Chain A
Amino acid sequence: MLAQNIIFGIIAVAMGLAAIRVVTTKNIVHAALYLVVVLAGVAAMFILLAAEFTAAAQILVYIGAIVVLFLFGIMLTRAPIGRTSDLDNDQRWLALVVSMLMLGVLAGVLTDAYDDVKLPADGAVQRSSEVGTSIFQVYVIPFEVISVLLLAALIGAVVIARRD
């Protein structure tokens, strides 16, 4: 139990710092690389919660595909690779106030509702086979809708980005 909490603390601090760097760094490529740290940390959280299939999907889809897509986007828009001071708009302080307010409200409500609620200890592991069974039995219609959505997004992205 203690080891899990120590690992959680280390990963959470790393994720928090990397997330702050994603939204504050002056270098776009560094922002994409800090995003990798956050996404890997989320995968580690999934493993701490005994959701190993979701963690694998997180690493494959997010770190493997989406970050590469972001790097392509950075290259194709010929973003300045080095430091630039022109990445934030002039509402930065307003945005800081809004997000701090939101964090305060969320933290207050969560502490009020779920303080001292423990996760069930061992013996409550959900197997990957149960996830698969659930997707293809209970949630098969949402699954099919997702596949149609992915096809539509694929065609839409090609049509939007095509030169003509």
Chain B
Amino acid sequence: MYLNQFLLLAAFLFSVGVYGVLARKNGVLVLMSVELILNAVNINLVAFGAFHNTVAGQVFALFVIAVAAAEVGVGLAIVLLIYRNRQSIDLSEVDLMKG
């Protein structure tokens, strides 16, 4: 197996996630796209760990998984708060800080 096939797959997942973050306006869907980006990074970490024959890649992938769990918890709490205050999670309406 080539190293590059995993890296290209991760690059594709990352780009799809970036598209989702930019194009979606539902808060939950934006968080899902962020998960796609984090998973692309995890594939890269584990692939390079296998390439260099070290466990550091796996260890950092596990750290990223833990941080992603924390991120989703806080992110969904914020989305719920936005929903409670505005009765909608349309992110294009959340523009209080727009000048």
Contacts and interface: CB of A to CB of B under 8 A. Distances in A.
Interface of A: 1, 4-5, 8, 12, 15-16, 19-20, 22-23, 28, 31-32, 35, 38-39, 42, 45-46, 48-51, 53-54, 57-58, 61-62, 65-66, 69-70, 72-74, 76-79, 86-89, 91-92, 94-96, 98-100, 102-103, 106-107, 110-111, 114-120, 124, 126, 130-131, 134-135, 138-139, 142-143, 146, 149-150, 152-154, 156-158, 160-161, 163
Contacts, number: 253
Contacts of B81: 160-161
Given A5-B1, A70-B28, A99-B16, A35 B8 contact: no
Interface string B1-36: 111111111011111111110111111110111011
Contacts of A106: 11, 14-15
A4 B1 contact: yes
Contacts of B49: 49, 51, 126
Contact of A50 (B50, B70, B76): B50
Contact of A124 (B25, B53, B57, B58): B53
Contacts of A57: 62, 65
Contacts of A39: 35, 39
B89 to A, nearest CB: 5
Contact of A115 (B4, B32, B39, B76): B4
A33 to B, nearest CB: 11
A76 B26 CA distance: 13
Nearest to B22: A95
B23 A95 contact: yes
Contact of A65 (B6, B26, B69): B69
B8 to A, nearest CB: 6
Given A42-B43, A76-B80, 14 more contacts: A46-B46, A49-B46, A61-B65, A70-B32, A78-B83, A89-B24, A91-B22, A106-B11, A106-B14, A107-B11, A126-B49, A135-B59, A146-B67, A157-B74
B31 A70 contact: yes
B85 to A, nearest CB: 12
B99 interface: no
A146 B69 CA distance: 11
25 contacts: A8-B5, A12-B5, A20-B16, A22-B33, A23-B19, A23-B23, A23-B36, A31-B29, A45-B46, A49-B6, A73-B28, A77-B28, A88-B23, A89-B91, A103-B15, A119-B1, A119-B3, A119-B47, A131-B62, A139-B63, A142-B63, A153-B71, A154-B73, A156-B77, A161-B77
